[in-house]
């Protein structure tokens, strides 16, 4: 109840976006001056860009937290993505871009099926690229969403620098409500840091070049510490009469404890469990038993792409389904 009231208070304290353009607001004028001083951006042009930009109420609605966080369902989340049509699209994508995927795996050690799973979950292989003007979406979050304003001001800055480097207008990018762009839904800062020209045509195009998207996803995971051949996750159970796992769960998703340490907390460790640090992951579904898993280093790396355990587990299981289909006899 306290958590619910806190969320409601948060929603009530988020100001409704003004209908006027951003250029008249003092904090935007300060941002323009900072961008001009720090990066040499044209203040007049940037001011004109903000003059024709208005807040997007749909962005604030999309980013608002759920009224009841306990209603989140692992089974419902998983079913949205791991379903026959998206899996079929994933198999087709893998066949169509086999050469780029093989090259990316050879260079980064990130399995092809993991890359395919991420692109499928993010945009359904290009079907859902986002409907928002990325500049307007990021401006809305930077100046009208106080809980994460600092983060989105950095992303707005990154978008301006990206546009400058690519010779494009900043309001020429389309993306998600959070300003994520292209097949892999990279935020502007990730594009600048991790995107690669994988098809070697002289430019990076995460929207029109599947090869660039493939290479960039693999590079992102590799740069965040993907372990070659390392485990991702294995199922775990709580032993009867064992210690409650709350203290383990409170440690978060960073892998810290080896199997013998987990066992001391009452976690039943499969005999085949790798002797490597792991975190206890709980996947809850209302009115159903919670699933427990051990998440290893590579599970944690996937959460650098999206901080949700639901997301990382869905990527892992989607990839596993793709690989099982690839290895199945042709007669099946």
Instruction: Give the active site residues.
Output: 122
The conformation of residue 183, written as its DSSP 8-state character, comes to T
Is the Cβ–Cβ distance between 136 and 54 less than 8 Å?
Answer: yes
Burial (Cβ within 10 Å: 0-12, 13-18, ≥19) of residue 276: middle
Dihedrals phi, psi of 139, to nearest 5 degrees: -65, -40
For 4, the token pair is: 């619910």
Measured from the Cβ of residue 297, the count of other Cβ atoms closer than 10 Å reads 19
Helices (H), the chain: 2-13, 26-39, 43-51, 57-63, 74-81, 84-96, 98-108, 112-123, 134-144, 149-166, 188-194, 210-223, 246-250, 259-264, 297-305, 309-327
Q: d(Cα 92, Cα 127) in Å, to the nearest integer? A: 14
Q: In this structure, are residues 292 and 245 in contact, taking their beta carbons and an 8 Å threshold?
A: yes
**CA distance readout (Å), 37 to 41, 211, 323:** 8, 37, 51
The Cα 105–Cα 120 span in angstroms is 17
**What's the N-to-C CA distance of the chain in angstroms?**
51
- Round to whole Å and give the CA distance between 20 and 28: 13
């Amino acid at each position: 109840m306290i958590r619910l009231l806190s969320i409601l208070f948060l929603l009530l304290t988020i100001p409704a976006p003004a209908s006027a353009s951003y250029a008249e607001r003092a904090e935007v004028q300060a941002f323009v001056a900072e961008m001009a001083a720090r990066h040499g951006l044209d203040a007049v042009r940037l001011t004109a860009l903000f003059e024709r930009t208005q807040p997007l109420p749909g962005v604030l609605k999309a980013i608002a937290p759920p009224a009841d966080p306990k209603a989140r369902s692992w089974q419902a989340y998983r079913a949205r993505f791991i379903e026959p049509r998206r899996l079929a699209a994933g198999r087709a994508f893998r066949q169509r871009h086999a050469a780029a995927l093989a090259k990316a795996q050879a260079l980064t050690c990130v399995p092809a099926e993991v890359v395919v799973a991420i692109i499928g979950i993010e945009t359904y292989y290009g079907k859902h690229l986002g409907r928002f003007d990325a500049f307007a979406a990021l401006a809305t979050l930077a100046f009208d969403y106080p809980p994460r304003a600092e983060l989105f001001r950095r992303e707005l800055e990154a978008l301006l620098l990206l546009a400058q480097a690519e010779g494009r207008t900043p309001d020429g990018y389309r993306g998600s409500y959070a300003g994520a762009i292209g097949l892999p839904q990279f935020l502007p800062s990730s594009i600048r840091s991790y995107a690669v020209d994988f098809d070697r045509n002289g430019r990076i195009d995460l929207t029109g070049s599947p090869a660039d998207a493939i290479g960039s996803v693999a590079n992102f995971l590799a740069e965040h510490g993907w372990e070659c051949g390392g485990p991702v996750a294995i199922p775990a159970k709580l032993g009867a009469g064992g210690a409650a796992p709350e203290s383990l769960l409170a440690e978060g998703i960073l892998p810290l404890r080896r199997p013998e340490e987990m066992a001391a907390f009452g976690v039943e460790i499969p005999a085949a469990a790798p002797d490597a640090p792991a975190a206890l992951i709980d996947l809850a579904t209302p009115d159903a038993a919670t699933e427990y898993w051990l998440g290893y280093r590579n599970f944690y790396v996937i959460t650098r792409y999206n901080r949700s355990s639901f997301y990382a587990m869905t990527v892992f299981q989607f990839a596993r389904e793709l690989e099982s289909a690839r290895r199945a006899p042709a007669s099946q």
